[in-house]
Amino acid sequence: MSYAQISRIERMNNQPLYLIDKEFQSDNVCKFIIAGSTANIYKVTTNFNQNSEQPIIHCDCPDMYSWAKSDDVKCKHCCFVWIKVLRIPPTWLSTKDFASQQFIILQNSLKDLVVRAELINTTYQEKYKQLSNNSPTTKSPDLPIITITTTNKFAITKDLIDSECPICFDQLVIESSSECPTCHNAVHSICITKWLSMGHKNCVYCRGDWSEFEKKKTIETKSKSKKKYIPNSDSNYLNLDS
């Protein structure tokens, strides 16, 4: 993976991004409405049709039309949808030719979509509804967004059957484990606490950021403390803080 792509993943991890809405255009094509770190609204479209000539994932933000386009670097909004919303391995962002089995995994990520509550900003959803006169709920009743009521970004969201901690190699159980928000691999909470106390800030599996582990403030609280962004008058993007 290129340094440019890694830097955008790091921005995604360190900046407040939210899922506002989604709209299925077909079973394998979905448009996600994202509130960026400056509260501008961007549209990320995923196309998981194996025979389609359209990009696998694309955003309408300026970054996707810069030099990054020619280098096939995905913006932070695409990274947010890919990694946090759809929970697809980050390394796949750099894949140019997907195998049939990978397309099945991509398609299932839409079909079995589960969105953590911390990725959704209800205030922004209401503001978006008022500004666009559209409902923030899914347009497809067969594939609803399911929210998990937790503010812990390191909460376990998958089964840990026969899984071992990569630090102590003992069995993992949900009650005493935490999950990396980037790669979604699990580790004992006490083990990762020890790991962080030794000066590490990253996941033992990937470069995911664990610096916020055990902090009490939620992403929403951090967002309110940020300086309010006033969009440029030339901006064509809907802004939820304006």
Distance in angstroms (rounded) separating the CA atoms of residues 202 and 35: 26
Q: Which residues of 33-57 are buried (b: 16+ CB within 10 A; e: fewer)?
A: bbbbbbbbbbbbbbbbeeeeeeebb
Please give the pLDDT value at position 215.
Answer: 62
Please give the pLDDT value at position 236.
Answer: 65
Tokens for 168, please give them: 């102590």
Q: Tens of pLDDT along the chain (242 residues)?
A: 788 888 888 888 888 899 998 888 888 999 999 998 888 899 999 999 988 888 899 999 888 777 666 678 899 999 999 999 998 888 898 888 899 999 999 999 888 888 877 888 888 888 888 887 654 443 433 334 444 344 567 888 777 767 888 888 888 877 788 888 888 889 988 888 888 888 888 888 888 888 888 664 333 334 444 444 334 434 566 777 66
Please provide the size of the chain in residues: 242
Label residue 159 left, alpha or beta by phi (over 0 means left) and psi (-120 to 50 means alpha).
beta
Q: How far is CA 70 from CA 46, 65, 73, 208, 241, in A?
A: 19, 9, 8, 26, 32
Three-class DSSP category at 207: coil
Amino acid at 115: V
CATH number of the 154-211 domain: 3.30.40.10
Query: What is the DSSP pairing of strand 57-59 with strand 41-47?
Result: antiparallel
Please give the pLDDT value at position 106.
Answer: 92
Domain residue spans of the chain: 3-148, 154-211
Tokens for 165, please give them: 């901690």
